[in-house]
C-alpha cells in the first residue's frame, strides 16, 4: 500500500449545508492526526461551506464531477476553475453512476481529466466492470478499454499525478463486496498498465476494510455510503493507517 494511504469519502447526493457542516465537525474531532490522507466530496451546494470548515485541517476537499470547459454556455455545469477557486484538491471523474445515469462516455472522461490537470486538480479516475461483463470474463478487457480511452494522449508523468479508482459496478451501492482475491487481481492488472495510486471502491465498510486494504496494489479506498457516518469513515481511515 502507498504510504500514506488515501481514503476519499464520496457523499453523492447527500447532505444539506447544515448536515455537511455537522459531519465535518464530527470528523474533525474523530480523526487522529496522521491517520491517513483523507478527502471528502460533498454535493456542489456544500463545497464552499465545507472548504471553510476544513481550513487548518489536513482533510482535503474533492468534487464529485466537473465539466471539461473552463466557462461557457453549459447550463447546470461546474467548471474546474470554480472548484479550484474554492479549495478543491481532487475531482472524481468517470464514476459509474455518471456513466450509467447520465450517459458519460470515455471520451468525455478523457476531456475532463485533461481539464482537471490543467486546473491543478488531481483526477480520481473511476473504472470498473458490470456484473454481466464479469460473468462473461470481460473484466480485464473492459478495464483496459476504459483506461486506454480515458487516458488517451497522456504521458506517463501525467498519469503519475492522477489517482485511479477501481469500482466494480456490481459492488457499488448494492451491499455486495468484491472478494480480496478479486480486488487483488484487478488492482494488479491496472498497475501492470499504469504506475499510479489505485484505490478500491465498492461497498467499503469498517467490517471489510482491513481485508480489502491489505491487498497488494490497494493504495486506499473511495468510500460511498459508509463515509456518511463519521464514525464508520474514521474507522476505515484508522484501519488504512494501521496497514501502511
Query: What is the tens place of the pLDDT at every residue in 174-220?
Result: 777 789 999 999 999 999 999 999 999 988 999 999 999 999 999 99
Q: Is the pLDDT of residue 244 over 60?
A: yes
pTM, two decimals, is 0.95
Contacts of 86 (CB under 8 A, 6+ apart): 47, 48, 51, 61
Please check whether residue 174 lies inside any domain of the structure: yes
Q: Is residue 1 part of a domain?
A: no
The yes-or-no answer on residue 120 being catalytic is no
| pLDDT tens-digit series, residues 53-74 | 999 999 999 999 999 999 999 9
Residue 232 maps to a domain? yes
Q: Which entry of 67, 95, 129, 187 is annotated as an active-site residue?
A: 95
Q: Is residue 144 part of a domain?
A: yes
| Active-site residue flag, 144 | no
In contact, 49 and 101? CB cutoff 8 Å: no
Q: Is the confidence at residue 158, as pLDDT, over 60?
A: yes
Listed in sequence order, the residues at least 6 apart from 143 whose beta carbon sits closer than 8 Å to its beta carbon are 127, 128, 129, 166, 186, 189, 190
Is there a domain that residue 215 lies in? Answer: yes
Q: How many domains does the chain have?
A: 1
Name the phi and psi angles at 235, rounded to 5: -65, -40
- Tell me, what CATH number does 165's domain have? 3.20.20.70
Looking up cell 492526526 gives 33
Residue 150 lies in a domain: yes
Q: Which of 62-76, 159-173, 213-227 has the weakest average pLDDT?
A: 159-173
Q: Which of 104, 129, 167, 234 is catalytic?
A: 167
For residue 84, being part of any structural domain is answered with yes
Residue 147 is assigned to a structural domain of this protein: yes
Judge whether 172 and 201 are in contact, CB under 8 Å.
yes
Grid coordinates given for 131: 456484473
Share of the chain above pLDDT 90, in %: 89
Query: pLDDT for 97-134, tens place per residue?
Result: 999 999 999 999 999 999 999 999 999 999 999 999 99
What band does 2 get if pLDDT is binned at 50, 70 and 90? very low
Residue ranges making up the domain that contains 98: 6-243
Residue 33: is its pLDDT beyond 90? no
| pLDDT score recorded for residue 191 | 97
Amino acid at each position: 500500500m502507498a504510504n500514506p494511504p488515501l481514503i476519499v469519502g464520496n457523499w453523492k447526493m447527500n447532505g444539506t449545508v447544515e448536515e455537511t457542516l455537522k459531519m465535518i465537525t464530527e470528523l474533525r474531532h474523530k480523526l487522529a492526526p496522521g491517520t491517513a490522507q483523507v478527502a471528502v466530496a460533498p454535493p456542489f451546494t456544500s463545497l464552499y461551506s465545507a472548504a471553510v470548515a476544513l481550513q487548518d485541517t489536513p482533510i482535503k476537499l474533492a468534487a464529485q464531477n466537473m465539466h471539461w470547459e473552463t466557462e461557457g454556455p453549459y447550463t447546470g455545469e461546474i467548471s474546474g476553475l470554480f472548484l479550484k477557486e474554492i479549495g478543491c484538491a481532487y475531482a472524481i471523474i468517470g464514476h459509474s453512476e455518471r456513466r450509467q445515469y447520465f450517459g458519460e462516455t470515455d471520451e468525455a472522461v478523457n476531456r475532463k481529466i485533461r481539464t482537471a490537470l490543467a486546473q491543478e486538480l488531481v483526477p480520481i479516475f473511476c473504472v470498473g466492470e458490470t456484473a454481466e461483463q464479469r460473468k462473461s470474463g470481460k473484466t480485464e478487457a473492459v478495464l483496459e478499454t476504459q483506461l486506454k480511452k480515458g487516458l488517451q494522449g497522456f504521458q506517463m508523468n501525467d498519469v503519475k499525478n492522477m489517482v485511479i479508482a477501481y469500482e466494480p459496478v456490481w459492488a457499488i451501492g448494492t451491499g455486495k463486496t468484491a472478494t480480496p482475491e478479486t480486488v487483488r487481481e484487478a488492482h494488479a492488472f491496472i498497475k501492470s498498465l499504469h504506475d499510479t495510486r489505485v484505490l478500491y471502491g465498492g461497498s467499503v465498510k469498517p467490517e471489510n476494510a482491513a481485508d480489502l486494504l491489505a491487498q497488494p496494489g490497494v493504495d486506499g479506498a473511495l468510500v460511498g455510503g459508509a463515509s456518511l457516518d463519521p464514525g464508520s469513515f474514521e474507522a476505515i481511515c484508522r484501519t488504512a493507517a494501521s496497514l501502511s
